[in-house]
Amino acid sequence: MKFRYHFQKVVDLKSNEKTQAEWMLSSAIGKLQTEEEHLMQLINDRNSLMDIIQSSAESCASASSLQELQRYAFHLDECISRKSSDVKHAQVNVQRNQTFLNGKVIDEKVWLGARDKAKIRFQQEMLLREQNDLDEMATVRFAAKAGRAN
């Protein structure tokens, strides 16, 4: 007799849900990394622009060109601010997906534990049946020997 868990489809579902949650977390982490890379690029661009403004001011560049560079610096500041907000949202999404995954991992462990307990009970019942069968065979042999002895 082979062990069959009646709720195996539920165990499979919980495992699939956990796998899906892992993919969602992986995707959220990838999005966060992309947002952080874009933010770092914007910060690097702004730092480079500040160096250009500094050297332009030292080389007596025209006021209009300095104003144009300053407007671009202001634009980069706005982009950095928006991207910082995007990074924070991506971080929240990663945390939300991590929490969701943790719940799915616990769910799966509970169902796997229930299946393992059921399998242990099944194995114990099988051992008990085997022992009962052996005891029955021994009793029959003993009774047969006792019957021949009389």
* Summary mean pLDDT of the chain: 95
Which portions of the chain are predicted below pLDDT 50? none
User: In angstroms, what CA-CA distances link 10 with 5, 14, 40, 100?
Assistant: 10, 6, 45, 18
pLDDT given at position 101: 98
Encode pLDDT of 68-105 as tens digits. Answer: 999 999 999 999 999 999 999 999 999 999 999 999 99
pLDDT given at position 109: 97
User: In angstroms, what CA-CA distances link 133 with 64, 130, 138, 145?
Assistant: 101, 5, 9, 18
Which uninterrupted H or E stretch holds 81? helix 63-149
